[in-house]
Structure 1
Amino acid sequence: MRIRLGLWATLLCGFAAHAGVDQASLADTADGTNWGAWGRTFDEQRFSPLEQINRKTVERLGLAWSLELNDIWNVSSQPLAVDGVIYLAVGYSEVYAVDAKSGAVLWTYDPKVDPQKMRMAWGIRGLAFWKGRVYVGVQDGRLIAIDAETGEPEWSVLTTKPGDNRYITGAPRVFNDMVIIGHGGADFGHVRGYVTAYDTETGAQRWRWYTVPGNPADGFENAAMEMAADTWTGEWWKFGGGGTVWNSMTYDPEFNRVYIGTGNGSPWNHKLRSPEGGDNLFLCSVVALDADTGEYVWHYQTTPGESWDFNSAMDMVLADLTIDDQPRKALLHAPKNGFFYVLDREDGSLISAEKLGKVTWAEGLDLETGRPIEVRGARYENGEALIWPGSGGIHNWHPMAFSPRSGLTYIPTREMPGYYNDEGREPQSWELTSNDPMGLKGFYEDIPANAGTSALEAWDPVTQTRAWSVDTPGVVNGGVIATAGDLVFQGRADGGFVAHDAVSGAELWRYDMGVGTQAAPMTYSVDGTQYVAILAGWGGSQMLLGSLGAQHGWVGRMHPRRLLVFALDGEASLPPSPPPSRPEPIREDDFVVDDEKAEQGKAVFSRLCVICHGTAAVAGGYAPDLRASPTSLSASAFASIVQEGALLERGMPNFPELSTDELEAMRHYIRQQAHYEPSVWSQIAAVWDFLVLLVKMQLAKWGW
């Protein structure tokens, strides 16, 4: 669906001139006019050479204009800016073209996502642009090319298979007249990861590369898959294997290679998918492929035999560094597992690696082998383990930046443990089902607001040391950019948009956006004026965090989703936003909770609803807090929404497969949670259990 708006604005801004984004422009780091790709240029440094806004002038930065997007549930993406037009993808891959000087909407395109794919409520995170076309990956698995001038779709391909668990949230990348896309889904069932390159002009498939081997009886697609199969045991192909490339891909024009960052195993639990051990290539790896053919060149695995959701799907930044007085073509990578890696791009060898924060699953890395030195007990061999970091990682998908001026990498980090328990799950009897896709005991309780912290880290990749660190609010931490004005920009969960001195970390400027964000900003120039833009709004992965996500007080549809654009001496006024607030659970009702039904409903809720409505039914973001909704008090009203799809138009998917008994069980669970308040004794017991677990882990480490 395409809507044309702002015709006069289109004519005035010279909208038809899009010759600037091609192979040459994305390799050109010196021209900061456009922000033409997810990482701005091929190197993914997220560094802009623009310096009109700098340390001295940033205090004059003001709002130039803003655009309200209140019909959109998720605005966690980063816009592009090309030839005076901003392109952004929000919600379920809805694309906007907006005049970059005035904020006038030029056109919109809605791909109309399959309602069944709305169940994976992550939203889209970015776009690609190439020679007059915008490329968007859609949550239901489609890749669509859109005419940048008219908003008309030119071609569409389904990159996944109908009815499978795969979905798209990441930004495509473009190079050599090809557009490459990966997918997610390994956390939800049988998925074998791959990336696919398509012709930018026609959408024809040019090549596809699988990240893990399939069934050996079917033969192997290439020598790399045959090699990888030697690192797996059992019948892994029955579970898919995982390894999805759901976020980071980086093209290297110097070697004509594309680096892909691969994800976790399916299931997470290593002993279930590969019972006799093995590294399980190419899970949690950086893999270099020939850009023209997709043929394997080299790999480096950050977490062999991964068992914790330690994705390597985070940024891969290209930089020329001088290390030990020698020039090195380096790749900088901070995956979930807590280490910061510097790799040699020519052959994938490890140059250096150090802990970026609190890491307890490994003592360090063996620089000779490149392998982590694991701590005994971290693989929950004794049934359970509490380790740092947890599955959220020290660094997640929120992009980092590198400044060639300061030589520092700026990384949004978090510190939060992960609890792993595979009680009752053995390779001989375990089966992959929708109720247990990860092979772990489910965690159903609310996550306290003080369970984790976050920071903006400035890291020196040459010395592998911290240059400075600034605490940031909560545990959800927005992506960053760096500029030649010696500034680092970051949007925050508490609603602040902040500029830091790139060298010292000092806060130089702050703006209240009226709502929190985790989206990354970008900067561009039109007619000699530098602008900085950011999307603000609460919704996305933080929705499932319960009290941890709700702590900032951004509630449901009450708070805005908006695009904000700043320039020096900007004087626009931001529309008012309600102050932070908290939903009040409905506790005065005649609903009598059946504890047995509530226990059954907990399992159904955690399987289908937690991703939007929060752990333990404590909403952490855009989706309503069901404890405060009267809907669960009425069996018919509840069924009309959950089973029959009464709110499909508002983004609430339906679940027609649920039985009457399952619906009733969920109602009892929601009402139980509405009345739940932890007592002093239950809190003391939780702390005691935590301390006992730490002692058990230490004893296991000592071999007792």
Structure 2
Amino acid sequence: MIARSRLPLLGMLAVAALALGSFDGFGLGGAAAPEAQLLDDSSGRDWPGYGRTYGQQHFSPLAAIDQANVGTLGLAWSMDLPLGNAATQPIAVDGVVYFAAGLSVVSAVDAVSGKLLWQYDPEVGKAAGLNLRVGWGVRGVAYWQGRIYVGTQDGRLIAIDAKTGKPAWSQQTFDPKMAAYISGAPRVLGGRVLIGYGGSNGVSRGYITAYDAKTGKQLWRFHTVPGDPAKGFENEAMEMAAKTWGGEWWKFGGGGDVWNSIAYDPDLDLVYFGVGSPYPWNHRLRSQGKGDNLFIDSIVAVDGKTGKYRWHYQTVPGDTWDFDATMDIELADLEIAGKPRKVLMQAPKNGFLYVIDRTNGKLISAEPYVPVTWASKIDLATGRPVEVPGARYDQGKAATIAPSPLAAHNWLPMAFSPQTRLVYIPAVEFDVDYSEPAKDWKPATDRNTDAGANMIGGPLIGRKPPVGALIAWNPVTQKPVWRVDHPTYVNGGVLATGGDLVFQGAIDGLFKAYSARDGKVLWSYDTRAPMIAPAITYEAKGTQYVTVLTGLGMAYPKNMGALDPANAERYGLDPRSQARRVLTFAIGGKQVLPPRAPAPQPPADPGFKLDQVRFMPGAMAYTRHCGDCHGSLAVGAIQAPDLRRSPLPQDRATFVQIVREGALEAQGMPRFAELTDAQIDDIRYYLRARAAELRGQAKAPKDPDVSLHLK
């Protein structure tokens, strides 16, 4: 945390610089001059960035809503949204709520009345082309000095005037020919806008880029894995990293995308970012099973002004399980062993909660917060995991691994409360069996993931469904304080407040406020829609509000149909019947939501007969080309329609127009021009078979390769 005594001085310096017309986001002597609202100990009146402040704690000190009165919290206003990604966090500044839903369509709404002020559509569907296949929209936006910043699926970073909704500048952040997309919220840190991208569905070499927030000029770029040594290295960090790779990794790109977590310490002028998993996931295929493969699965610290490497900590050296370190990084000052420490905390996919000295990258502690089978512990002397023999599945034997690629903790943000000194983690318990792929494995070439490993989720072979929980964890003692279990693994992002409250939604549609001290449910509201987006709180005209979006999105829930089909149907996940809304709450709010809309019934299909021979090719083609957006086993759960409930598979001409010819490309449905007539008919047959199963007319065979549903 930044000392409060510095706040008035920083504010005066900023005002003085603005008066001189020279403030550019950097202070005297080149040191970063953060704005007051972005400091961790700011008032909480606004929520200007994804984690609210530089430290990304997802905490607000506002306390007008507290344990005593939260029971009277009610809906102040709501706004309906169209079909599309709703797994996104809003921000709020000066009484205006901003958010990006669907394909990065940005809206500005009056926080008190719910009136739409403006809307900006970057027309992603017209620009993204093949990259419509690999992304799902964005999770958030950022504010800085009168502008809103948003990323798009086709790789643009756009600055928008916060008053008018007109674009001020736009930068293409990656080559549109890459199989890549932006899903993370931009972060504005010291006058610099930072953004990475997601990919690893083919040749991809990750990086993070800093742009001048005023002009959009690129300031620096840091690659996360080294390129072809024959072409030289961009800097000493890449030369160092290359020594930890084997074979010809650069032909695969290496992965290491920076698709989510970014934090900043303005006193140290250090930017911290989490690096994703490698491509392919399989260490043997990627790097001949050799080396740590820096900087995959790492937290990296770089100089804020130059992007120069300062230090790193790698959570999973030589990863072979897709254990990204891209979950949110949160900064705090903790007393550990009687001494104050400046730390960063992360609960990445691999199941351990890490506490790291953010000044130098040294590990302080790490303990599992869910069951972990790939490593027995983290060695504090070396900082390395002690792997369980056989966990790497590279000796011809399968390995049962927990957590799974869906993660012990995915992108849904955790929160840290400086009042309770606890971390609140939306956690998942789930295992998967890994095994080697076929000997003739080749990397993906058509933007369809082929990770280089076969994976079968435990529930698909008789083990228990994955479960989710909200876990309150003490990062000093590395022990749980309380835990609340959820009905499924899909539980949402977390908000902690100065009223000693923790807010979280879940797939059952219940938005709850818990006691931050003991986990007791103090308030619950039926939003009448599944939800996973994190909430925010802010002040407008003297009143504290809480805002959250309902409806699903991103890839996180897509496997519900395969892993937990009963709950997928129970909670009404059909995208066309999901209520996608912006909900804003205040003490004494009285608005009432309409009832849930029923899911459409599958259309009649007279004369359809189930044919095992025809079903199998369709299952494979659907899983490879359609499942990422329309859901595993054709159970729609995210932003694309549930095709079991659609008449389109019965209408061949219209189906071809949409799928192969791109009739709905502008609305976000990618074209698949490479599909043959036979493949299209196979997919249509598969969907009709799944619809017949839903009608209760027939039981479809088991999919031939359930492992694909986790890729």
The two structures have a TM-score, normalised by structure 2, of: 0.89
Query: What's the CA shift for 1:450?
Result: 5.6
* Shift in alpha-carbon separation, 1:92–1:450, aligned structure 2, 3 A: farther
1:441 to 446, 454, 462: 454
Query: What's the CA shift for 1:543?
Result: 2.9
Q: Quick one: distance in 2 between partners of 1:63 and 1:537?
A: 17
Q: What per-residue deviation string (whole Å, max 9, x for no partner) do you get for residues 454-483 of structure 1?
A: 000000000000000001221111001111
Aligned AA (1:659): T
Q: Quick one: distance in 2 between partners of 1:515 and 1:192?
A: 38
Aligned to 2:558, the other structure's residue is in SS state: helix
Hey, what does 1:560 align to over in structure 2? 579
1:274 to 268, 279, 287: 287
* Shift in alpha-carbon separation, 1:446–1:452, aligned structure 2, 3 A: closer
Aligned AA (1:46): H
2:123 to 100, 108, 112: 112
Hey, what does 2:526 align to over in structure 1? 512
Does structure 2 retain, via aligned residues, the 8 Å contact 1:124–1:138?
A: yes
Q: Quick one: distance in 1 between partners of 2:290 and 2:408?
A: 26
Hey, what does 1:74 align to over in structure 2? 85
* Shift in alpha-carbon separation, 1:192–1:409, aligned structure 2, 3 A: same
Aligned to 2:673, the other structure's residue is in SS state: coil
1:36 to 21, 38, 48: 48
Does structure 1 retain, via aligned residues, the 8 Å contact 2:106–2:121?
A: yes
Hey, what does 1:700 align to over in structure 2? none
2:149 to 118, 129, 135: 135
Query: What's the CA shift for 1:48?
Result: 0.8
Greater displacement, 659-668 / 619-628: 619-628
Q: Quick one: distance in 1 between partners of 2:486 and 2:292?
A: 36
Does structure 1 retain, via aligned residues, the 8 Å contact 2:618–2:679?
A: yes
1:95 to 82, 95, 106: 106
Hey, what does 1:701 align to over in structure 2? none
Does structure 2 retain, via aligned residues, the 8 Å contact 1:232–1:280?
A: yes
1:640 to 650, 657, 665: 657
Query: What's the CA shift for 1:493?
Result: 0.9
**1:391 has 2:405 as partner:** yes
Q: Quick one: distance in 1 between partners of 2:176 and 2:112?
A: 41
**1:220 has 2:233 as partner:** yes
Does structure 2 retain, via aligned residues, the 8 Å contact 1:272–1:430?
A: no
Aligned AA (1:272): L
Aligned AA (2:560): L
Aligned length: 662
* Shift in alpha-carbon separation, 1:594–1:576, aligned structure 2, 3 A: closer
Hey, what does 2:7 align to over in structure 1? none
Aligned AA (1:530): Q
* Shift in alpha-carbon separation, 1:673–1:445, aligned structure 2, 3 A: farther
**1:529 has 2:543 as partner:** yes
Q: Quick one: distance in 2 between partners of 1:500 and 1:238?
A: 49
Does structure 1 retain, via aligned residues, the 8 Å contact 2:208–2:221?
A: yes
* Shift in alpha-carbon separation, 1:659–1:81, aligned structure 2, 3 A: same
Does structure 2 retain, via aligned residues, the 8 Å contact 1:317–1:331?
A: yes
Q: Quick one: distance in 2 between partners of 1:195 and 1:533?
A: 30
Aligned AA (1:91): G
Q: Quick one: distance in 2 between partners of 1:192 and 1:450?
A: 37
**1:578 has 2:597 as partner:** yes
Q: What per-residue deviation string (whole Å, max 9, x for no partner) do you get for residues 157-212 of structure 1?
A: 100102211100000111221101000011x1110000000011111100000000
Greater displacement, 115-124 / 50-59: 115-124
Does structure 2 retain, via aligned residues, the 8 Å contact 1:196–1:207?
A: yes
* Shift in alpha-carbon separation, 1:273–1:400, aligned structure 2, 3 A: same
Q: Quick one: distance in 2 between partners of 1:394 and 1:35?
A: 27
Aligned AA (2:412): H
**1:59 has 2:71 as partner:** yes
Unaligned runs of at least 5 residues, structure 2: 1-22, 26-32
* Shift in alpha-carbon separation, 1:543–1:436, aligned structure 2, 3 A: closer
Hey, what does 1:8 align to over in structure 2? none
Q: What per-residue deviation string (whole Å, max 9, x for no partner) do you get for residues 361-403 of structure 1?
A: 1111111111111111211123422211100111110001111
* Shift in alpha-carbon separation, 1:88–1:147, aligned structure 2, 3 A: same
Q: Quick one: distance in 2 between partners of 1:646 and 1:101?
A: 40
Greater displacement, 377-386 / 152-161: 377-386
Identity percentage of aligned residues: 50
Query: What's the CA shift for 1:670?
Result: 2.5
Q: What per-residue deviation string (whole Å, max 9, x for no partner) do you get for residues 40-98 of structure 1?
A: 111111111111100101111111111111x2411111111001101111111110000
Q: What per-residue deviation string (whole Å, max 9, x for no partner) do you get for residues 468-518 of structure 1?
A: 000122111100111111000111111111000000110000111110110
Q: What per-residue deviation string (whole Å, max 9, x for no partner) do you get for residues 571-598 of structure 1?
A: 122234325x5x6556754345554444
Hey, what does 1:418 align to over in structure 2? 432
Query: What's the CA shift for 1:630?
Result: 2.8
* Shift in alpha-carbon separation, 1:564–1:166, aligned structure 2, 3 A: same
Aligned AA (2:42): A
Hey, what does 1:160 align to over in structure 2? 174
Written as runs of structure 1 = structure 2, the 5 A alignment for 1:154-303 is 154-186=168-200, 188-303=201-316
Query: What's the CA shift for 1:295?
Result: 0.4
Does structure 1 retain, via aligned residues, the 8 Å contact 2:274–2:297?
A: yes
Aligned AA (2:596): S
**1:625 has 2:642 as partner:** yes
Q: Quick one: distance in 1 between partners of 2:693 and 2:540?
A: 54
1:145 to 149, 159, 162: 159
Written as runs of structure 1 = structure 2, the 5 A alignment for 1:307-386 is 307-381=320-394, 382-386=396-400
Hey, what does 2:414 align to over in structure 1? 400
Query: What's the CA shift for 1:620?
Result: 2.3
* Shift in alpha-carbon separation, 1:293–1:202, aligned structure 2, 3 A: same
Does structure 2 retain, via aligned residues, the 8 Å contact 1:491–1:498?
A: yes
2:561 to 503, 528, 546: 546
* Shift in alpha-carbon separation, 1:64–1:56, aligned structure 2, 3 A: same
Aligned AA (1:106): L
Greater displacement, 626-635 / 313-322: 626-635
Does structure 1 retain, via aligned residues, the 8 Å contact 2:222–2:307?
A: yes
Greater displacement, 665-674 / 55-64: 665-674
**1:607 has 2:620 as partner:** no
1:50 to 54, 58, 62: 62
Query: What's the CA shift for 1:527?
Result: 2.0
Does structure 1 retain, via aligned residues, the 8 Å contact 2:135–2:182?
A: no
Q: Quick one: distance in 2 between partners of 1:220 and 1:171?
A: 29
Does structure 2 retain, via aligned residues, the 8 Å contact 1:195–1:208?
A: yes
Q: Quick one: distance in 2 between partners of 1:88 and 1:272?
A: 41
**1:662 has 2:679 as partner:** yes
* Shift in alpha-carbon separation, 1:342–1:170, aligned structure 2, 3 A: same
* Shift in alpha-carbon separation, 1:662–1:442, aligned structure 2, 3 A: farther
Q: Quick one: distance in 1 between partners of 2:521 and 2:371?
A: 25
Q: Quick one: distance in 2 between partners of 1:26 and 1:409?
A: 20
* Shift in alpha-carbon separation, 1:559–1:619, aligned structure 2, 3 A: closer
Aligned to 1:509, the other structure's residue is in SS state: strand
Aligned to 1:198, the other structure's residue is in SS state: strand
Aligned to 1:632, the other structure's residue is in SS state: helix
* Shift in alpha-carbon separation, 1:577–1:509, aligned structure 2, 3 A: same
Aligned AA (1:44): Q
Query: What's the CA shift for 1:347?
Result: 0.7
Q: What per-residue deviation string (whole Å, max 9, x for no partner) do you get for residues 387-430 of structure 1?
A: 1110011111000111111110011001111232223237xx74
Hey, what does 1:451 align to over in structure 2? 465
Aligned AA (1:50): L
The two structures have a TM-score, normalised by structure 1, of: 0.90
Q: Quick one: distance in 1 between partners of 2:78 and 2:358?
A: 41
* Shift in alpha-carbon separation, 1:120–1:431, aligned structure 2, 3 A: closer
